[in-house]
Amino acid sequence: MSGVLYGIGVGPGDPELMTLKAVRKIRECSVIAVPGRQPEDSTAFQIAVKICPEIREKELAGIHMPMTRDETKLRESHETGASVLREYLLKGEDVAFLTLGDPTVYSTYLYLHRMLRKQGFTAKIINGIPSFCAAAARMDTGLAEKNQPLHIIPAAYEVENSLKLSGTKVFMKAGKNLSKLKEKLVQRNLSGKMVENCGMTDEKLYGCTDEIPLEAGYYSLIIVKEQEETK
Q: What is the CATH number of the domain that holds 114?
A: 3.40.1010.10
What is the domain count for the chain?
2
H helix runs in 35-103, sequence order:
43-51, 71-90
121 lies in the same domain as 135: no
Give the residues across from 224 on adjacent strands: 169, 192
Task: State the Cα–Cα distance between residues 204 and 201, nearest whole angstrom.
Answer: 9
12 lies in the same domain as 115: yes
14 lies in the same domain as 69: yes
Residue at 146: amino acid letter: K
Per-residue pLDDT of the chain (231 residues; tens, 9 = 90+): 899 999 999 999 999 999 999 999 999 999 999 998 898 999 999 999 999 999 999 999 999 887 777 788 889 999 999 999 999 999 999 999 999 999 999 999 999 999 999 999 999 999 999 999 999 999 999 999 999 999 999 988 878 889 999 999 999 998 888 999 999 999 999 999 999 999 999 999 999 999 999 999 999 999 999 754 443
113 lies in the same domain as 153: no
Instruction: Kindly report each contact of residues 79-85 with a partner whose C-beta sits within 8 Å and lies 24 or more positions away, as own/partner.
Output: 79/115, 81/112, 82/112, 82/115, 82/116, 82/119, 84/33, 85/5, 85/33, 85/61, 85/112, 85/116
138 lies in the same domain as 214: yes
Where a domain ends, among 103, 126, 149?
126
86 lies in the same domain as 23: yes
Where a domain ends, among 126, 142, 160?
126
119 lies in the same domain as 15: yes
Model confidence, pTM: 0.91
Give the residues across from 196 on adjacent strands: 204, 220
154 lies in the same domain as 76: no
97 lies in the same domain as 164: no
137 lies in the same domain as 200: yes
Residue 25's domain spans which residues? Answer: 4-126
Total residue count of the chain as it appears in this document: 231
